[in-house]
Chains A and B, each alone.
Chain A
Amino acid sequence: MAATLPLSFELGVGHAFVDPGDAALARRVFINDGTNGAPEKSGGVWDFRLDAAWAVKAPVVTQLAWVGGVRYSMYSGRFKYVGGNEDFTITSDAWGIGVGARASLAITKKLSVTAMVGLDWFPSQTLYGHDSSYSSNGDVVNNGQNDNGRPYGWRDADKAINQPWLLPSVLVGMTWRP
Chain B
Amino acid sequence: MSSRPTRVTLVVVLAGLALGAAPARALEIAWTGLGG
Q: Is A10 an interface position by the 8 A CB rule?
A: yes
Report Cα–Cα, A116/B18, bound state, in Å. Answer: 11
Given contacts A19-B22, A175-B11, A178-B11, contact A14 B28 (CB under 8 A): yes
Contact residues in A for B19 (Cβ distance below 8 Å): 167-170
Contact residues in A for B34 (Cβ distance below 8 Å): 8-11
Minimum CB distance partner of B7 in chain A:
A8
Counting residue pairs across A and B whose Cβ atoms lie within 8 Å, the total is 122
Interface residues of B (CB under 8 A from A): 4-5, 7-22, 24-36
Given contacts A14-B27, A19-B24, contact A172 B16 (CB under 8 A): yes
Contact residues in B for A167 (Cβ distance below 8 Å): 18-20
Report Cα–Cα, A7/B34, bound state, in Å. Answer: 9
Contact check, A10 vs B16: say whether CB atoms are below 8 A apart.
Answer: no
Q: Which size class do A's interface residues fall under? A: 35 or more
Contact residues in A for B5 (Cβ distance below 8 Å): 3
Of B25, B32, B36, chain A has the most CB atoms within 10 Å of the CB of B32
Q: List 16 A-B contacts (CB under 8 A).
A: A7-B36, A10-B31, A10-B33, A10-B34, A15-B26, A17-B26, A19-B22, A49-B30, A102-B12, A102-B32, A162-B21, A163-B21, A171-B28, A173-B14, A175-B11, A175-B32
CB of A127, distance to nearest CB on chain B (Å): 13
Report Cα–Cα, A91/B14, bound state, in Å. Answer: 25
Interface string of A27-64 (1 = CB under 8 A from B): 00000000000000000010001000100000000000
Report Cα–Cα, A2/B35, bound state, in Å. Answer: 10
Contact check, B35 vs A8: say whether CB atoms are below 8 A apart.
Answer: yes
Partner of A8, one of B14, B24, B36: B36
Q: Is A166 an interface position by the 8 A CB rule?
A: yes
Contact residues in B for A10 (Cβ distance below 8 Å): 30-34
Minimum CB distance partner of B25 in chain A:
A17
